[in-house]
Amino acid sequence: MEDNKHIRVVNLAAYQTPVVKEEYNRDWVSYGESNDYFQNLIDNYLGSPTNSRCINGIIDMIYGRGLEALDRMDKPEMYLEMKKLLNKKQIKRIVHDYKMLGQAAIQYLTIKERLESLKYLISLWKH
């Protein structure tokens, strides 16, 4: 029975996501009570070593060694095109924003229905 002293219960059922509210007299949608939900997530990440390490660990597991293709030997031209479009730093930043903020922004450019470039759009914070 002595081992039961070290068991802790975390009640995540009390967590509530912020309300997304469309305001018709403005050109944006507010997210959270004071429209500061994302800043709150960033502050939690920067202010808590535990939160930061958990997020960074998950990002490292998602990203791994980067993006690769299983059929790169069969389709070398497509593999080179993929590598040209998606550089390692951008992919890592996209994964980071997606994990930390729950979303990430990517701009893609097509010319004559052909994908020409992908670009990570800088989020609310610098990393």
Confidence of residue 6 (pLDDT cuts 50, 70, 90): low
Residue 118, beta-bridge partner list: 108
Q: Taking a C-beta distance cutoff of 8 angstroms, is the pair 37, 18 a contact?
A: yes
Q: Quote the pTM value.
A: 0.68
- pLDDT-derived band at 45, boundaries 50, 70, 90: very high
Confidence of residue 36 (pLDDT cuts 50, 70, 90): confident
Residue 51, pLDDT > 80, answer yes
Tokens found for residue 48 = 């808590």
CA distance 85 to 77: 12
What residue spans define the domains of the chain?
A: 36-120
Q: Cβ contacts of residue 70 below 8 Å, gap of 6+? A: none
Q: Does position 4 have pLDDT exceeding 80, yes or no?
A: no
- 66-104 pLDDT per residue, tens: 888 899 999 999 898 888 888 888 889 899 999 998 888
Q: 117 vs 21, which has greater pLDDT? A: 117
Higher pLDDT residue, 2 or 106?
106
- Residue 27's pLDDT is 76
Contact 39, 83 (CB under 8 A): no
Token pair listed for 61: 């597991």
